[in-house]
């Protein structure tokens, strides 16, 4: 059923229309004021953008950026200070390592120089047994020691560093030198008239055959020339060519063994003129050390 408009109803409608008109008038006034302001200043009072409303006002923003930068710089400085001792110690450590390396190189060079200037002389049987013994008690060990110490004296006078080693000297293990010579003498038994002369040998399985052959040649030639003894080649035994020290010393150390003579027939030379024996040995060694032709 259709409702008939009441007086109250029509009054409400009038109030509504009046409110709309007031609102429209107010909007027009605002628009007018805005256009007047634009005309006067050329700047519209546009609403702030979303970005601008999201951040702080410009003065506060500058403060904030300044503070952030200050904190970041302080942070970097603190980290730097915290790590500085480490960097310093790393640097000091690197320096220490370099110094140690240099020291080691210097030491190695000094050792190499010393090795290059070093001569080893094994005094046969010394510190182990007497070796051959004569009826009157003269021992090979005693003769060998006399010869070895004299050789050492002469070589030292020539500027070499000389080690006089025992037969089984612990220093023989890995021994490094320009040359090693073991000094022995032959039996004191009266074998026959041929039991006279000297012998020189190197390892049967030489690790430096060229150098050791030259060493043997030098010793043989110079000792023979100095002493007048003959080379007793046919009595070179395995005791000589498989001499124990050959396998103990450093492979780069050339080595040989000499039997200076027979203690019975050659006794006048070995015991009576030890300086000649020593001179013959020394000249043989110097021939080798100086690279001279045998
Ligand atoms: Zn011996």
pLDDT digits (tens, 9 = 90+) for 150-167: 999 999 999 999 999 999
- What DSSP letter does each residue of 85-135 carry, written as one string? HHHHHHHHHHHHHHHHHHHHHHHHHHHHHHHHTEEEEEETTTTT---SB-T
Q: What is the pLDDT of residue 89?
A: 56
The predicted model gives 242-269 an average pLDDT of: 96
224 Cβ contact list (under 8 Å, min separation 6): 198, 230, 231, 280
Distance 289 CA to ligand 1 centre (A): 25
Lowest mean pLDDT among 32-41, 56-65, 140-149: 32-41
- Provide the percentage of residues in the chain whose pLDDT is more than 70: 65
d(CA 64, CA 224): 101
Distance 220 CA to ligand 1 centre (A): 18
Distance 2 CA to ligand 1 centre (A): 152
Q: Please state, as a whole number, how many other Cβ atoms lie within 10 Å of the Cβ of residue 220.
A: 20
Distance 56 CA to ligand 1 centre (A): 104
198-250 pLDDT tens trace: 999 999 999 899 999 999 999 999 999 999 999 987 778 888 889 999 999 99
d(CA 126, CA 123): 6
Q: What is the pLDDT of residue 98?
A: 75
Distance 167 CA to ligand 1 centre (A): 9
Distance 143 CA to ligand 1 centre (A): 10
Q: Report the Cα–Cα distance between both ends of the chain, in Å, rounded.
A: 151
Q: What is the pLDDT of residue 104?
A: 67
Q: What is the pLDDT of residue 42?
A: 43
Distance 125 CA to ligand 1 centre (A): 6
Q: What is the pLDDT of residue 107?
A: 59
Q: What is the mean pLDDT of the chain?
A: 80
Distance 184 CA to ligand 1 centre (A): 4
The predicted model gives 261-280 an average pLDDT of: 98
Contact 211, 254 (CB under 8 A): yes
Confidence of residue 134 (pLDDT cuts 50, 70, 90): very high
Distance 216 CA to ligand 1 centre (A): 18
Distance 140 CA to ligand 1 centre (A): 7
Is the model more confident about 279 or about 23?
279
- Start-end of H helices in the chain: 7-41, 50-54, 58-116, 140-157, 209-227, 238-241, 267-270, 274-289
Distance 137 CA to ligand 1 centre (A): 15
d(CA 187, CA 189): 5
Is the model more confident about 106 or about 126?
126
Identify the CA nearest to 146 among candidates 136, 137, 138: 138
74-88, 91-105, 209-223, 234-248: which is most confident: 209-223
Contact 162, 239 (CB under 8 A): no
The predicted model gives 138-146 an average pLDDT of: 98
Q: What is the pLDDT of residue 131?
A: 97
Distance 281 CA to ligand 1 centre (A): 16
DSSP-assigned letter for residue 4: P
Q: What is the pLDDT of residue 255?
A: 97
Q: Is 10's pLDDT higher than 80?
A: no
- CATH superfamily, domain 112-289, is Zn-dependent exopeptidases (3.40.630.40)
The predicted model gives 121-137 an average pLDDT of: 98
Distance 58 CA to ligand 1 centre (A): 105
Distance 72 CA to ligand 1 centre (A): 84
Confidence of residue 100 (pLDDT cuts 50, 70, 90): confident
Confidence of residue 101 (pLDDT cuts 50, 70, 90): confident
Q: Is 184's pLDDT higher than 70?
A: yes
In which residue are the tokens 């120089």 written? 113
d(CA 222, CA 278): 11
Distance 71 CA to ligand 1 centre (A): 87
d(CA 220, CA 6): 155
* Strand partners of residue 123: 183
Distance 61 CA to ligand 1 centre (A): 101
Q: Is 111's pLDDT higher than 90?
A: no
14-28, 57-71, 222-236, 262-276: which is most confident: 262-276
d(CA 160, CA 155): 6
pTM given for the model: 0.65
Identify the CA nearest to 170 among candidates 128, 215, 118: 128
Q: What is the pLDDT of residue 236?
A: 83
Distance 180 CA to ligand 1 centre (A): 16
Biggest alpha carbon–alpha carbon distance for the chain: 172
* Strand partners of residue 259: 184, 199
Confidence of residue 16 (pLDDT cuts 50, 70, 90): low
């Amino acid at each position: 059923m259709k409702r008939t408009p009441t007086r109250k109803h029509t009054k409400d409608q009038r109030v509504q229309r009046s409110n709309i008109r007031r609102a429209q008038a107010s909007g027009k006034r605002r628009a007018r004021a805005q256009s007047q302001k634009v005309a006067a200043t050329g700047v519209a009072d546009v609403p702030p953008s979303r970005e601008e409303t999201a951040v702080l006002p410009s003065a506060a923003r500058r403060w904030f950026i300044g503070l952030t930068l200050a904190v970041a710089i302080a942070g970097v400085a603190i980290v730097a200070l915290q790590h500085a001792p480490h960097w310093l110690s790393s640097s000091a450590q690197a320096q220490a390592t370099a110094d140690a390396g240099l020291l080691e190189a210097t030491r190695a060079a000094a050792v190499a120089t010393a090795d290059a200037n070093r001569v080893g002389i094994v005094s046969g049987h010394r510190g182990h047994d007497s070796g051959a013994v004569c009826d009157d008690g003269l021992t090979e060990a005693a003769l060998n020691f006399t010869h070895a110490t004299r050789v050492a004296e002469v070589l030292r006078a020539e500027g070499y560093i000389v080690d006089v080693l025992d037969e089984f000297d612990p220093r023989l293990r890995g021994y490094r030198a320009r040359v090693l010579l073991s000094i022995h003498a032959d039996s004191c038994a009266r074998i026959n008239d041929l039991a006279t002369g000297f012998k020189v040998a190197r390892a049967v399985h030489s690790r430096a055959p060229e150098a050791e052959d030259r060493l043997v040649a030098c010793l043989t030639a110079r000792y023979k020339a100095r002493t007048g003894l003959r080379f007793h080649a046919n009595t070179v035994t395995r005791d000589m060519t498989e001499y124990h020290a050959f396998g103990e010393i450093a492979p780069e150390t050339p080595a040989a063994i000499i039997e200076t003579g027979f203690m019975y027939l050659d006794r006048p030379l070995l015991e009576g003129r030890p300086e000649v024996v020593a001179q013959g040995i020394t000249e043989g060694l110097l021939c080798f050390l100086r690279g001279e032709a045998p």
